[in-house]
C-alpha cells in the first residue's frame, strides 16, 4: 500500500471496533477512508456491506471516483456510498410501508417547506394567535429541533416568542407534510431514526446489513445523524469516522461539534488516531493556517500540523482600492497562471457569500476566462424549473398540496384568489387536503362556473399524464406534451420583453427535459421512475453530467470543504464579509446564527484548500448607496507570520477608464490654475 505514513497505515489496518481519525486539514483523512474501504474489500468484505457517508454530493462523487480507481467500477458501484440525505432516501423507499407513506412521496426543498410554514403562520395570524413573524426564523427553529432529533412532543416550553410560536407550529407542520406525503430535507435523516427507535425488526434488518460504517467530515454531523450512526452500528462496533474539529462550519445548521470531541464517550473502546503531516500544501500555507486557527477562543483538540511538502511561494496578501479592482486583480492573475499552464479547474476563487461572486463572474466573462459555480443558485431553484417540476410532482402525487397550489393558476387559467380561498375553506371544514377539496369542486357552490371548468380541464390533463406514466409510456414524451398542453411555453414566450427572456427560461425547461431523457435512457426499465428522477433533481439541484466542468471554480467557503486546488484566491478578507456581519453585529441576537469563531474556522477551511499558492485579497473601500465606505481588514489577517507572507500587487498597468482620465485632467487644470503667473 504505497503512499501512506505509519499513522495512516495503522488506521487502514485497524479492524473491529470504533475508530476515530482526528486530524488537521490535508492530512490524508479522506485518503485513509478510501484506502480502508479498498483494504476491506481486498480481504473479502462484500462491498455492499460497507456504508460510507460523505458530506456533499460532490464529495461523494469524488470518493466514488477514487474507489473506482482502487477497486474497479463494479465493486465501487456496490459500495453504499452516499450523503446522509441520499442514504435516508434509500432507507425511506425501502421502508415506505412501515413509515405509512404510500406508493409515492415527494421531497420538499427549503422553498417548499417555507411555503408550509407561511401557511401555518397565516392561519395563526388570522385566528389572532400570533403577530406577523419572520417565517424563515420559524422554519430555522423547526429544522434545528429536527436536527437535534426532537419530535414535537419533546420540544421544551419557552418564554421567547419565536421559540414559542415555532413550538406551536411544529406539530401542525408535521401533520401537513404527512397529509401531503411529503418529507423535508431534515426528515430524510429523522424519519429513519424515528422508525428504528420504535421498530426493532427494522433496526435489526439495517444493522445486520452493514459490516463497516464510515463517515467523512464527522465534525459537521448533527445530533440526529450521530443517532442514525449509532442505530446502524453492528455488534462489532465497526464504525470509523474522520474529521477535524477546526473545520466545523455548520453549527448554524445544527451540526454538533461535540459529536467528534466526545466520540469516545459515545462509542466505548474507541481507538484514536492522529495524523500530523499535511500533504496538501506548501509550508507557508500551512503556517498561515496554523497561525489563524491557533487564535481560536474555543475548546479545541490541540493538533500539530507539519508541512510534508516543504517550502514554496509565500502567501500573497493583496489590497486593492475597491471590489472591482479586486476582481480585476484576481482575474488578471488567473489568466496569467492559465497561460503558464495551470488548468483552469485546478484554480478556485472562494468567498463567504454568493453575492461576492457577481463581480468576479462579470470580470471572468469580460476577459473570456471559463468558470464553473459551486454552491450558487441551483438550476433547480429557478422559478420556471420549479414550476415545471411542480407539474410532474402533482402528476406523481396528487396529495402534494404545495405543488398543486403552485400550478393551480399558473399559467393563468382564471382561477382567482377567492376561488382558492373557498376551496381552502372547504378543505378545512371537512378535514381534507387542498387537492382532495379541489377534486370535489362540484360540491362547492360558491365557485364560479368558468373556474370550475378550468379546474376540470387541468385535472383531465394531469390525469392523462398520470395514466400514460402508469401504463409505461416514455416519461419525457409525457412531460413535454403536458408542459405544452398547460401552456408553460406559451406563457413564458408571451413575457414582456418580446419573448427573449422567455425563451431563455423555456430553454431551462428544455434542459430539465433533456436531463429527464438522459436519465431515462441510462437507467434500466425496472429501476427508472419519475419518483427517482424528481428525488435526484431535488437533492442534487443541478444536472449531474454537466457539473463536471472545465473552468475556474467559484465557490462559497462552505461548498469547498474537503476539496483542494493548486491555486486559491480567498477574496473579501474584510470585516463584515469574513467574518460575516451577521455574526459580529450586536443587534442580531437570533439564536440560530453562528458566532465569530465559526467564521474563523471557515477562514481556516479556505486557507487549507490551497496546494501551491494562496492569495488573500481585500478591498479598501466599497460603494454603498453612492457613497464610498472604508472597509476594515478582517481580524483573521491579524497575527499571520510575516516571514511566510508578502504584500503583492499586480505590476500590469490597467488602462484608465473615462472617469479616471477626466479626474486626472481636472487635477491637472487645478494645479495649473493655482500656479503663479509666469511672464
Ligand atoms: P480535509 O481536511 O481538507 O478534508 P484530508 O485530511 O481529508 O483533508 P486528503 O484530501 O485525504 O486530506 O489528502 C490531502 C492531499 O494529500 C491529497 O492530495 C492526498 O492525495 C495527499 N496525501 C495524503 N496522504 C498522503 C501520503 N501519505 N503521501 C502523499 N500524499 C498524500
Ligand atoms: Mg477530507
> 204 CA distance to ligand 1 centroid (A)?
36
Taking the centre of ligand 1 as the mean of its atom positions, its distance from the CA of residue 25, in whole angstroms, is 8
Q: Check: CB of residue 221 under 8 Å from CB of residue 189.
A: no
For residue 601 and ligand 1, the question of a CB distance below 6 A is answered with: no
Q: What's the pLDDT band for 591 if we cut at 50, 70, 90?
A: very low
Q: Which has the higher per-residue pLDDT, 457 or 549?
A: 457
82, pLDDT greater than 50: yes
Q: Give me the catalytic one of 30, 419, 583, 617.
A: 30
Ligand 2 mean position, distance from CA 264 (Å): 21
If you measure from the C-alpha of residue 307 to the centroid of ligand 1, how many angstroms do you get, rounded to a whole number? Answer: 12
| Range in 260-264, 379-383, 487-491, 601-605 with the lowest mean pLDDT | 379-383
Which of ligand 1's atoms lies nearest the C-alpha of 34?
A: 11
Cis peptide before 411 (omega within 30 of 0): yes
pLDDT of residue 48: 95
8 lines ligand 1 (CB under 6 A): yes
Q: Which CATH number fits domain 6-96+188-275: 3.40.50.720, 2.30.30.760, 3.40.50.300, 3.40.50.2000?
A: 3.40.50.300
CA-nearest residue, atom 11 of ligand 1: 28
In short, whether 278's Cβ falls inside 6 Å of ligand 1 is no
Report CA(552)–ligand 2 centroid distance (Å): 21
Fold entry, domain 380-540: PCRA; domain 4 (1.10.486)
Q: Is 635 in the pocket of ligand 1 (CB under 6 A)?
A: no
Give CA–CA dist 528/121, Å, rounded.
Answer: 38
Residue of 615 and 410 predicted with greater confidence: 615
Q: What is the pLDDT of residues 40-72, one digit of tens each?
A: 999 999 999 999 999 888 888 889 999 999 999
Q: What's the N-to-C CA distance of the chain in angstroms?
A: 88
- CA 19 to ligand 1 center in whole angstroms: 18
**Is residue 56 lining ligand 1, measured as CB closer than 6 Å?**
no
CB 280 near ligand 1, within 6 Å: yes
User: What does the pLDDT read at residue 313?
Assistant: 96
The bound ligand whose nearest atom lies closest to the alpha carbon of 601 is 1
Share the mean pLDDT of the chain: 88
pTM: 0.84
Q: What is the pLDDT of residue 592?
A: 43
pLDDT at 677: 41
Q: Annotated catalytic, 216?
A: yes
pLDDT at 324: 93
What is the band of 263 on the pLDDT scale with cuts at 50, 70, 90? Answer: very high
Q: Quick check: 279 and 28 in contact, CB under 8 A?
A: yes
Domain residue spans in the chain? 6-96+188-275, 106-180, 293-377+548-660, 380-540
212-251: pLDDT as tens digits: 999 999 999 999 999 999 999 988 889 999 999 999 998 8
Instruction: Tell me if 72 sits within 8 A of 172, measured CB to CB.
Output: no
pLDDT band at residue 557 under the 50/70/90 scheme: very high
**Average confidence (pLDDT) over 6-11:** 94
672 catalytically annotated: no
pLDDT in tens, 601-658: 999 999 999 999 999 999 999 888 888 899 999 999 999 999 999 999 887 655 666 7
Nearest CA to ligand 1 atom 24: 28
List 8, 225, 247, 320, catalytic entry = 247
Residue from 303, 313, 314, 249 nearest 278 by CA: 303
Looking at ligand 1, which atom is closest to the CA of residue 247? 2
Minimum-distance ligand to the CA of 249? 1
Return the CATH architecture of domain 293-377+548-660. Answer: 3-Layer(aba) Sandwich (3.40)
- Residue 678 pLDDT > 70: no
| Closest ligand (CA of 32) | 1
| 314 labelled catalytic | no
Q: How far is the CA of 28 from the centre of ligand 2 (A)?
A: 7
Q: Fold for domain 106-180?
A: Arc Repressor Mutant, subunit A (1.10.10)
Asked about 644 being catalytic, the answer comes back as no
Q: Quote the pLDDT of residue 18.
A: 96
Compute the residue count for the chain. Answer: 679
**What local confidence, expressed as pLDDT, does residue 209 receive?**
94
Residue 148's SS3 state is: coil
- Higher pLDDT: 661 or 467? It is 467
From the candidates 187, 216, 313, 535, give the one annotated as an active-site residue. 216
Q: Whose CA is closest to atom 28 on ligand 1? A: 3
Q: How far is CA 40 from CA 8, 14, 46, 217, in A?
A: 15, 10, 8, 21
Does residue 392 register a pLDDT over 70?
yes
Stretch 84-96: mean pLDDT = 93
CA distance 671 to 663: 12
Atom of ligand 1 nearest to the CA of 4: 27
Q: Is 461 exposed, middle or buried (CB count within 10 Å of its CB: 0-12, 13-18, 19+)?
A: middle
Q: Is 328 a catalytic residue?
A: no
Of 167, 561, 609, 611, catalytic: 609
Residue 659 predicted with pLDDT over 90: no
Q: What mean pLDDT comes out for the span 378-389?
A: 84
Residue 633 and residue 154: Cα distance in Å, rounded?
Answer: 44
What is the atom index within ligand 1 of the atom nearest the CA of 609?
A: 3
Q: Do domains 6-96+188-275 and 293-377+548-660 have the same CATH topology?
A: yes
Share of the chain above pLDDT 90, in %: 58
The answer to whether 217 is a known catalytic residue is yes
pLDDT band of 1, cuts 50, 70, 90: very low
- The stretch 191-217 carries a mean pLDDT of 95
Q: How does DSSP classify residue 189?
A: H
Task: Judge whether 636 and 573 are in contact, CB under 8 Å.
Answer: yes
Rg (alpha carbons) of the chain, rounded to whole number: 28
**For a pocket test of ligand 1, which of 1, 5, 30, 609 has the largest count of ligand atoms closer than 8 A to its C-beta?**
30
State the pLDDT at residue 660: 65
Q: Which pLDDT tens digit goes with each residue over 270-306?
A: 999 999 999 999 999 999 999 999 988 777 777 878 9
Give the mutation target among 10, 31, 285, 346 for probing the ligand 1 site: most ligand atoms within 8 A of CB: 31
Amino acid at each position: 500500500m504505497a503512499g501512506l505514513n505509519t499513522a495512516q497505515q495503522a488506521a487502514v489496518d485497524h479492524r473491529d471496533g470504533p475508530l476515530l481519525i482526528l486530524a488537521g486539514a490535508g492530512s490524508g483523512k479522506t485518503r485513509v477512508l478510501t484506502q480502508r474501504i479498498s483494504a476491506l474489500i481486498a480481504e473479502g468484505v462484500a462491498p455492499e456491506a460497507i456504508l460510507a457517508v460523505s458530506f456533499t454530493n460532490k464529495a461523494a462523487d469524488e470518493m466514488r471516483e477514487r474507489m473506482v480507481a482502487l477497486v474497479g467500477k463494479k465493486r465501487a458501484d456496490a459500495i453504499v456510498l452516499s450523503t446522509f440525505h441520499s442514504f435516508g432516501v434509500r432507507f425511506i423507499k425501502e421502508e415506505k410501508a412501515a413509515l405509512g407513506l404510500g406508493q409515492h412521496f415527494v421531497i420538499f426543498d427549503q422553498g417548499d417547506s417555507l411555503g408550509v410554514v407561511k401557511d401555518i403562520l397565516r392561519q395563526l395570524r388570522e385566528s389572532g394567535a400570533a403577530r406577523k413573524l419572520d417565517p424563515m426564523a420559524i422554519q430555522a427553529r423547526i429544522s434545528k429541533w429536527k436536527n437535534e432529533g426532537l419530535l414535537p412532543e419533546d420540544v421544551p416550553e419557552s418564554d421567547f416568542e419565536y421559540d414559542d410560536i415555532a413550538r406551536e407550529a411544529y406539530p401542525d407542520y408535521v401533520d401537513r407534510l404527512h397529509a401531503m406525503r411529503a418529507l423535508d430535507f431534515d426528515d430524510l435523516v429523522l424519519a429513519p431514526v424515528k422508525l428504528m427507535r420504535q421498530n426493532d425488526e427494522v433496526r435489526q434488518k439495517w444493522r445486520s446489513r452493514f459490516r463497516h460504517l464510515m463517515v467523512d467530515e464527522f465534525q459537521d454531523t448533527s445530533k440526529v445523524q450521530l443517532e442514525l450512526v449509532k442505530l446502524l452500528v453492528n455488534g462489532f462496533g465497526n464504525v470509523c469516522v474522520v474529521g477535524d474539529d477546526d473545520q466545523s462550519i455548520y453549527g448554524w445548521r445544527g451540526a454538533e461539534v461535540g459529536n467528534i470531541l466526545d466520540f469516545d464517550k459515545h462509542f466505548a473502546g474507541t481507538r484514536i488516531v492522529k495524523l500530523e503531516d499535511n500533504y496538501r500544501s506548501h509550508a507557508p500555507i500551512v503556517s498561515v493556517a496554523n497561525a489563524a486557527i491557533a487564535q481560536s477562543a474555543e475548546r479545541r483538540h490541540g493538533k500539530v500540523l507539519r508541512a510534508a511538502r516543504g517550502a514554496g511561494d509565500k502567501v500573497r496578501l493583496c489590497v486593492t482600492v475597491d471590489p472591482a479592482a479586486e476582481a480585476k486583480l484576481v482575474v488578471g492573475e488567473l489568466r496569467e497562471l492559465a497561460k503558464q499552464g495551470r488548468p483552469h479547474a485546478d484554480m478556485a476563487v472562494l468567498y463567504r457569500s454568493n453575492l461576492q461572486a457577481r463581480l468576479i463572474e462579470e470580470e471572468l466573462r469580460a476577459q473570456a476566462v471559463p468558470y464553473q459555480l459551486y454552491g450558487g443558485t441551483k438550476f433547480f431553484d429557478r422559478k420556471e424549473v420549479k414550476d415545471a417540476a411542480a407539474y410532474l410532482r402533482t402528476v406523481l402525487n396528487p396529495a402534494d398540496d404545495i405543488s398543486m397550489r403552485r400550478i393551480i393558476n399558473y399559467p393563468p387559467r382564471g382561477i382567482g384568489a377567492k376561488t382558492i380561498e373557498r376551496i381552502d375553506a372547504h378543505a378545512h371544514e371537512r378535514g381534507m387536503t387542498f387537492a382532495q377539496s379541489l377534486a370535489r369542486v362540484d360540491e362547492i357552490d360558491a365557485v364560479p362556473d368558468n373556474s370550475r371548468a378550468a379546474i376540470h380541464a387541468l385535472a383531465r390533463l394531469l390525469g392523462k399524464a398520470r395514466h400514460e406514466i402508469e401504463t409505461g409510456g416514455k416519461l419525457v414524451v409525457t412531460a413535454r406534451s403536458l408542459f405544452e398542453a398547460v401552456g408553460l411555453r406559451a406563457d413564458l414566450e408571451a413575457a414582456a420583453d418580446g419573448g427573449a427572456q422567455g425563451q431563455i427560461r423555456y430553454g431551462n425547461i428544455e434542459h430539465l427535459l433533456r436531463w429527464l431523457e438522459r436519465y431515462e435512457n441510462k437507467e434500466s426499465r425496472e429501476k427508472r421512475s419519475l419518483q427517482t428522477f424528481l428525488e435526484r433533481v431535488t437533492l442534487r439541484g443541478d444536472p449531474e453530467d454537466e457539473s463536471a466542468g472545465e473552468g475556474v471554480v467559484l465557490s462559497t467557503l462552505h461548498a469547498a470543504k474537503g476539496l483542494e486546488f493548486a491555486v486559491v484566491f480567498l477574496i473579501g478578507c474584510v470585516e463584515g464579509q469574513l467574518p460575516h456581519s451577521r455574526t459580529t453585529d450586536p443587534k442580531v441576537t437570533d439564536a440560530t446564527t453562528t458566532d465569530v469563531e465559526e467564521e474563523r474556522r471557515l477562514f481556516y477551511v479556505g486557507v487549507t484548500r490551497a496546494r501551491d499558492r494562496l492569495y488573500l485579497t481585500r478591498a479598501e473601500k466599497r460603494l454603498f448607496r453612492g457613497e464610498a465606505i472604508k472597509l476594515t481588514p478582517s481580524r483573521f489577517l491579524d497575527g499571520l507570520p510575516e516571514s511566510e507572507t508578502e504584500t503583492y500587487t499586480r505590476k500590469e498597468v490597467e488602462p484608465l477608464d473615462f472617469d479616471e482620465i477626466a479626474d486626472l485632467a481636472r487635477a491637472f487644470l487645478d494645479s495649473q490654475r493655482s500656479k503663479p503667473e509666469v511672464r
